[in-house]
Structure 1
């Protein structure tokens, strides 16, 4: 930690700071009782679209599709106790992943048109985590200077376990168009049937004029749909509200003044920004953090796969 007038302030801590602990304080915090990390490869997941009539024409005419990017827009989770396993809970999770796709549609003149559309991928998973036991209700009341406290005591929350899901930006690995000759092929599901909070994230997309689009006949053969493969990294936690006793040095008083930008001279603020050299001159592989190690790992993986294939 830093020091100001022999006071301990926020920052790195040293051994001499330990003797300056003033008291033990009781705080209420979210304690993580259990957590796990997941690396999921969501392979050949079906993509749902909002304007199904328009996208069917595009998919019917497309000769290829490319996955540009993916984003987790919402996560639903449900917690249930595990029967005959005290303290453990199942966490059922549904990920709503928005993907952006480029469709390559040929024109009559021989050129190719790229049409970008956004779709939705659903992914479900279930994990088991330890969440301990106990159930209490937490009531709170605010102090009022005049008379009784406002509305008296009110239920704030309980201390039952709750889940917290952290996700990194997914990696859009691949996309393809699947042909189906099944006469019972069902492609009726679309984004309109998703929760409203998710559906509102997809705006209305304009229809595009396609050559010979009116010649498309809806029959039992030749049905197509889009499948994508997405890589997803997540951390799933199970937490409770608990009271912890921790050592405290002092109140956390800010030790620096706020830095405000000046409206009179915006160039003065601009002068404080360093020139973005890396934007103009991308770093070489030996300057990029972890790049050489990554290349080495990939080469070792390739050699290992070769040795395994030869051994077979």
Structure 2
């Protein structure tokens, strides 16, 4: 049964599969980045191969001084350079090489002082890992039209090239292992925290295109954000919980009786 358009409020949400949506109000032309090709690369980086995954902990000379190692946080990815080379006989396909850096932080809690002055201090270690990935065959068609964008006021306009083509990285990083390693630096013992890092990397090629889509007009104004509620009012409206746990007992009678 079709939904009455008068009862339909267009808003973001799940689509009811049992019903059907009313006819859209209009066909809209929108300009969005469209993905023409993408692929997934998985990498496991070990501190043996990547020296940048080991950072010395200042003031720590013995691993026993480290009380706690926090989780990796504040991951950030920055593309340094992108190079493309054509593949003979494969129009639109290119060999793509991307150089990028992954940065993140790790907090460690270390013992400081001795005797009655013993305490703890939190230290933050910053990691920056440089990586290069290559996709041997990637569909990267060149844009046909040349586009530029004007920004600023009429009296002082600024013209720049539109973002017509773009190689994009989406990265999920995970610290797989944290290990304290004793390092001998010119006769002075130091302790470094070495990280084994796992990377899920999605490489995307995007072009800025115009798409024709059905739409229901502009999204409605959302509901007002909820304010602070009095805790006693919330408690008085709460359902009364069960005072006793459920009983776990065998049934006195079987589920069926043989005739």
Aligned ranges 1:161-200 → 2 under 5 Å? 161-167=166-172, 170-171=174-175, 173-180=177-184
Flag the structure with higher helix content.
Answer: 1
Q: Contact 2:84/2:97 (CA < 8 Å) preserved in 1?
A: yes
Flag the structure with higher strand content.
Answer: 2
- Structure 2 counterpart of 1:241, from 193, 201, 208: 208
Distance 1:87-1:67 versus aligned 2 partners, 3 A rule: farther
CA RMSD of aligned residues (A): 4.1
- Counterpart Cα distance in 2 of 1:115 and 1:247: 58
For residue 254 of structure 1, report the CA deviation from its aligned partner. Answer: 0.9
- Counterpart Cα distance in 1 of 2:42 and 2:125: 22
- Structure 1 counterpart of 2:77, from 75, 78, 94: 75
Q: Contact 2:86/2:93 (CA < 8 Å) preserved in 1?
A: no
Deviations 1:177-232 (Å, cap 9, x if unpaired)? Answer: 1334xxxx6xxxxxxxxxxxxxxxxxxxxxxxxxxxxxxxxx35756543222344
Aligned ranges 1:117-156 → 2 under 5 Å? 117-123=123-129, 124-128=131-135, 129-134=138-143, 136-141=145-150, 149-151=154-156, 154-155=159-160
Aligned equivalent of 1:251: 217
For residue 28 of structure 1, report the CA deviation from its aligned partner. Answer: 0.5
- Counterpart Cα distance in 2 of 1:142 and 1:94: 31
| TM-score scaled by length of structure 2 | 0.63
Aligned equivalent of 1:5: 6
User: Quick check: 1:30 aligned with 2:37?
Assistant: no
Q: Contact 1:164/1:239 (CA < 8 Å) preserved in 2?
A: no
- Counterpart Cα distance in 2 of 1:223 and 1:13: 59
Gaps of 5+ in 1: 50-54, 186-218, 276-312
Alignment length (residue pairs): 220
Structure number with greater Rg is: 2
- Counterpart Cα distance in 1 of 2:189 and 2:223: 68
Gaps of 5+ in 2: 239-259
- Counterpart Cα distance in 1 of 2:158 and 2:115: 74
Deviations 1:220-260 (Å, cap 9, x if unpaired)? Answer: 57565432223444544332211112223x21241654345
Aligned ranges 1:1-312 → 2 under 5 Å? 5-7=6-8, 9-10=10-11, 11-13=13-15, 16-17=20-21, 20-44=23-47, 46-48=53-55, 55-56=57-58, 58-63=59-64, 65=66, 67-77=69-79, 78-84=81-87, 86-88=92-94, 89-103=96-110, 109=115, 114-123=120-129, 124-128=131-135, 129-134=138-143, 136-141=145-150, 149-151=154-156, 154-155=159-160, 157-167=162-172, 170-171=174-175, 173-180=177-184, 219-220=186-187, 222=189, 225-248=192-215, 250-254=216-220, 257-259=223-225, 261=227, 266-268=228-230, 271=233
Distance 1:39-1:115 versus aligned 2 partners, 3 A rule: farther
Aligned equivalent of 1:213: none
- Counterpart Cα distance in 2 of 1:80 and 1:270: 62
